[in-house]
Every structure is written in structure tokens, then in C-alpha cells.
Amino acid sequence: MKSRKFFGDLSIIIGLLLIATALFLIARNIRDEMNAGKASAEDVMELIALMPDEATVAEYEPGYEKDLEVIEVIPPDPMKVEVINGYKYIGVIEIPEYELSLPVRQECNEENLNSCPCLYSGNVHNDTMTLCAHNFDTQFGLLRDAPAGTKIYFSTVDGVIYKYEVIGQEIIGAQDIKGMTDPSLDWDLTLFTCTTGGQMRVAVRCARVSG
């Protein structure tokens, strides 16, 4: 009887510890998301203030098709950067559907990702750019369910706006670098984030549009 009571009490204690751990992780995620949202909001205002007052829309011809062979051998002009508080930024990504306006840092590392989206690979000038961010609702988390046609705008720091629409999503392995970065005739921009639990990646594919 005593051993049965002991194991019963032990099960209760383990259960309580697991609940406490889960609550701690939830609280930490909420804190991290709030901190990221605050940092992005502060930096995006400073970045917008440094950008030209009058923006221009990047030229785009409907029916345009990238030449993947040219992309392989001719590097595009580098994207310009603005430095704020020691961090390099290449532009601002806006997703009106989710009321998101986020600064994008040039260097992708853990510290930068804790604050805002980062350039993962490619270049906006030749329609090969890939951006990554955490799956917070204040970053790319809501994009996991973004329907086709969702509008996305990327403004460079020198005041050029590139317009896109979501064309679909893919679930990609966490180590599938090629799947996240290879240029394609089908899409011109990729935004990716982690799935819930972080075991896989959601790659949101976007096509550039005119107008």
C-alpha cells in the first residue's frame, strides 16, 4: 500500500512539474514575442525616417521571366544599407493584411532574429531574395495561413518599393537549405519561418506584381 501511495504521489509531483515547465515556456515565448515586437516597432520608425520621402515603385513587366542562367553568373548590385544603433538594415517589409511593418536586417544570426526579420539569401534586385523570421505573430507567424493573393511590399532603404503577392506555401525540412534559397521561375520572394515546435519550416512563396 505504501509503495502504491508513493508512486501515486510521485506521479502527481511529476505532473505538476511538467505543467510548471509548460507554463514557464509559454511565459518565455510571450515575453520574447513582446520584446521582438517592441524592438521592431522602434527600429522601423527610425528606419522609415531615414528613407526618402518620395518612394518609387520598382519597374515590372507582366509576363517577365527570370533568366536563371544569367542569375548564376552575373551578381546583382548589392542592396544598400542603413545603420541604426550599430545594426545594418536593408529595408522594410509590410504586410497590410496582418498590420505588419517590420525592419529587415542584413545579417542573419540569432541575435538579429530575436528582434526582426533578416536577409537569409539572395537579392531583391534580381528577384531571388529570401527572408526569415521567428514564428511570432509579431513577425512571420501569421503568414503560415496567408491565402494566395495576400499583398506584401518590400521597401529598400533608398526608397524603391517592390510589390508581391503570396502564391502558396510549402513545408520544408529544417536542413533543406536548397529548398529555401534556390531561385525559381515560379516565385520572386520567399519568406520562411518555423512550424509550431520548430521541426520544419514554412516557406511562403511570393510573385512580384505590377501596379
Which residues, listed in sequence order, are joined to residue 156 by a DSSP beta bridge? 91
Q: Which domain holds residue 131?
A: 10-208
- Of the candidates 208, 189, 158, 206, which has an alpha carbon nearest to the alpha carbon of residue 56? 158
Give me the number of domains the chain comprises: 1
Is 88 within a domain?
A: yes
Cell for 148?
494566395
Percent of the chain at pLDDT > 70 equals 81
pLDDT attached to residue 190 = 97
Is 5 within a domain?
A: no
**pLDDT one-digit tens code per residue, 122-144:** 999 999 999 999 999 999 999 98
What is the pLDDT of the chain when averaged over all its residues?
A: 84
Over residues 3-28, the mean pLDDT reads 49
Output the pTM of the full model. 0.80
Is 3 within a domain?
A: no
CATH code, domain carrying 151: 2.40.260.10
Is 4 within a domain?
A: no
Is 203 within a domain?
A: yes
> Hey, how many other C-beta atoms are within 10 angstroms of the C-beta on 5?
9
In terms of DSSP H, where are the helices of the chain? 2-50, 68-73, 110-113, 177-181
Is 103 within a domain?
A: yes
Is 2 within a domain?
A: no
